[in-house]
Structure 1
């Protein structure tokens, strides 16, 4: 008996020490780590930086271009010159040298408004990329807390299983005492041992599920972390508005809908960019140049040099390009119509999703209240059964059933709380409010 007591004491002591040594990962800390290290968030930030570079004034064609060019030429030839009076002159190694340098500036004064619309299109593309990055962060929020609350749920369930195992161990110890003193049968002892073994196996499986869930959270966090940490298990619900206000927020703030609106704006500018090809373009070019040459004796001039400013305007107008502009405009109009159809489809889809999620959320809140009552009832029933079992008024099977009912009701309440919280987060994402939640 002393050995059994020592073993039970050691198990309780080790569990207590383990609890004290574990690090607590809070929701706020987990969110900060994910926003810093999550792979999807990193890629979204890089894509946003690319879009920012693309919408820069340097990528629009509004600025002039400037270049410098220079060159030098050298020739060494044998030359013979025949004159009109019949005389001739021959020179071996006639050297000719020439040098040039110029600064050139070109500027498009008018291009049919194409670069104006292209610039506006690039700005809308940047806004779209911002929304895509926001959606990635929203999805990371949801994925993060889905994993986080899964760990919290499994942790609470594990506590329930620990409680069940503790009750079963105490019952086993009682059965051993009673059997040794002839107060119960061998069957009672064997039943108690089977229940301890079953509860131990269930607890081991729960530990494995918990470790797996923590590794899944590590993946979302984007870090390698030992799975011996714990998480916050409290569940605080947000004061969600009524459905009409939630629906209005969805129409105004839903990230998916706003992305499609940006796609429509981009398509509209694409039509204008293509239409600009019907208009003429006007360009300005200017240069400042310097030239110098040194000629052999056979040349009329011994040397020459020049420098000065040159400028010119150029006008071009494509009267007919084989119909490519017309085709591009027609196709861009169809692309715009497709984006408008897609927006209507998304509105209906997201609206239905919001309604389904809202009803599911209301049902889960009701289930939480019902499960709370079940826990109170099963707890009272278990307490009464425990006393009656001690007095020998009920069998071990009846006591075990009361124990199972209590653990099942606590687990069901625990699952209902975390399921409702995840549904709440889905509602906040649909309404575009998930990034505003305080954790």
Structure 2
């Protein structure tokens, strides 16, 4: 019984720990990279390139094909062994082995293999970009939850102060030191703050659900994150110049690498299309054999009358007959030879070279070459556009990060001022030198200043991390 109780207690403890697990940002990012559908699709695209490469390698190997057929013929048919027409029913079996090898095809096999390798590299870069994008989405969603939780703590702490003011104001009203209107004003503030707390709790729930959906986690009720220990961590990126960040981005960002590989793919496609203008030289080897169970007829000497004498001519002038003796043969039906014997007796081998020289194919090759040239120009334009977009995005991220930092500094200065103003208003209200409305306005400005500091802080953290990504820091190595 004690063992059963102990097992139940352990199970309850484990279940409780599982329910109260709080996810860190790194855990969320890693989980998303392992389970996100878009990432899985990119991984499948990468796996497909391995198949393309395997196929390209196979083009360098000889082709080997085995063939066989079996049939039964009734009526007038040609015996596949004797090639004689006969009216009967017989079974025939044929088999063959063919080997072919491409000696030259305008280097298209070589170009195809090179293209497969480039395609695999491009797919890897697309996968890396997808992981960076997903990591940013997760980080943004995660920081949104933290921001909402921080705002909720601000609202709760300020409401606790309001509760104290309500108690104090009730005492002053009962003592006749303050009018009853001040108490009503404070209670109205309390009601408004509680409504804001409810809205803040709803914002947390919604942001948690959004993050869980991004992670493909369906247990929304028990999903929560670790909301402590996240602060502004600058690894020195804020002190770097825009030119340094831009130069690093061009070296490391997947957008540029993808566009560069697309250009290389277009070049290979053009080379493959041009290769169709060259002759194709192939070597071949074939082996075939056949079997039939059809009976056949052979000529044999008649044992009863082995020879016959026949006139073969006359002597000119005398008219004397000239006779000769010949074997007397008769047709005899014989059965088919054994299966294995026929396979050896009826086999044949063929080998040689085949040359195919393209002369005219309805402008198909010419059209493919022109189409490949256009695709190459298009990919070159896309590379140029990708470089321009990257430069624009880096500049925007740099300006956003600088602006977010200044906004955060201004919010902190504003909070200090509102803190002083709130403390002064509270002191005046406590001694009855200001009314409840003026005090509530000062308190509202103080609350908004705290919320604005939180917003500016996490906005700066996110934009700083975006800038670090452009500098080439992997998403999984970002520090918060």
What is the TM-score when the length of structure 2 is the normalising length?
0.79
- Aligned pairs (5 A) from 1:345-360: 345-360=385-400
Q: Distance in 2 between matches of 1:329 and 1:75?
A: 51
Equivalent residue, structure 1, for 2:256: 257
Q: 1:193 to 1:297 in 2, by over 3 A?
A: same
Residue 147 of structure 1, CA deviation: 0.5
Moved more, 215-224 or 387-396: 387-396
Aligned partners of 2:232 and 2:457 also within 8 Å = no
Q: Give yes or no for the alignment of 1:167 onto 2:207.
A: no
Q: Give yes or no for the alignment of 1:135 onto 2:129.
A: yes
User: Deviation digits for residues 75-108 of structure 1, max 9, x if unmatched?
Assistant: 35489xxxxxxxxxxx9x8443433222222222
Q: Give yes or no for the alignment of 1:413 onto 2:437.
A: no
Residue 188 of structure 1, CA deviation: 0.9
Q: Distance in 1 between matches of 2:298 and 2:459?
A: 97
Q: Distance in 1 between matches of 2:42 and 2:392?
A: 28
Q: Distance in 2 between matches of 1:116 and 1:258?
A: 23
Equivalent residue, structure 2, for 1:52: 50
Q: Give yes or no for the alignment of 1:424 onto 2:464.
A: yes
Equivalent residue, structure 2, for 1:400: 440
Equivalent residue, structure 2, for 1:101: 95
Residue 296 of structure 1, CA deviation: 2.3
Q: 1:308 to 1:356 in 2, by over 3 A?
A: same
Aligned partners of 1:148 and 1:231 also within 8 Å = no
Instruction: Indicate the SS of the match to 1:334.
Output: helix
Equivalent residue, structure 1, for 2:22: 24
Residue 176 of structure 1, CA deviation: 2.1
Q: Distance in 2 between matches of 1:230 and 1:257?
A: 35
Q: Give yes or no for the alignment of 1:238 onto 2:238.
A: no
Q: Distance in 2 between matches of 1:179 and 1:287?
A: 112
- Aligned pairs (5 A) from 1:8-23: 23=21
Aligned partners of 2:56 and 2:116 also within 8 Å = no
Q: 1:160 to 1:22 in 2, by over 3 A?
A: farther
Q: Distance in 2 between matches of 1:212 and 1:249?
A: 37
Instruction: Indicate the SS of the match to 1:312.
Output: strand
Instruction: Indicate the SS of the match to 2:243.
Output: helix
Q: Distance in 1 between matches of 2:44 and 2:417?
A: 55
Q: Give yes or no for the alignment of 1:191 onto 2:185.
A: yes
User: Deviation digits for residues 176-223 of structure 1, max 9, x if unmatched?
Assistant: 222233332221111011101110111111111111111110111111
Equivalent residue, structure 2, for 1:325: 365
User: Deviation digits for residues 29-61 of structure 1, max 9, x if unmatched?
Assistant: 111211122121121112211122222256652
Equivalent residue, structure 2, for 1:41: 39
Moved more, 177-186 or 327-336: 177-186
Equivalent residue, structure 2, for 1:282: 281
User: Deviation digits for residues 108-154 of structure 1, max 9, x if unmatched?
Assistant: 22111112111111211111111111111111011111110011111
RMSD: 2.4
Q: Distance in 2 between matches of 1:94 and 1:258?
A: 72
Q: Distance in 1 between matches of 2:473 and 2:128?
A: 11
What is the TM-score when the length of structure 1 is the normalising length?
0.86
Aligned partners of 2:30 and 2:476 also within 8 Å = no
Q: 1:201 to 1:432 in 2, by over 3 A?
A: same
Q: 1:100 to 1:140 in 2, by over 3 A?
A: same
Q: Distance in 1 between matches of 2:257 and 2:206?
A: 36
Equivalent residue, structure 2, for 1:9: none
Aligned partners of 1:94 and 1:297 also within 8 Å = no
Instruction: Indicate the SS of the match to 2:232.
Output: coil
Q: 1:71 to 1:352 in 2, by over 3 A?
A: closer
Equivalent residue, structure 1, for 2:64: 66
Moved more, 389-398 or 135-144: 389-398
Residue 284 of structure 1, CA deviation: 1.7
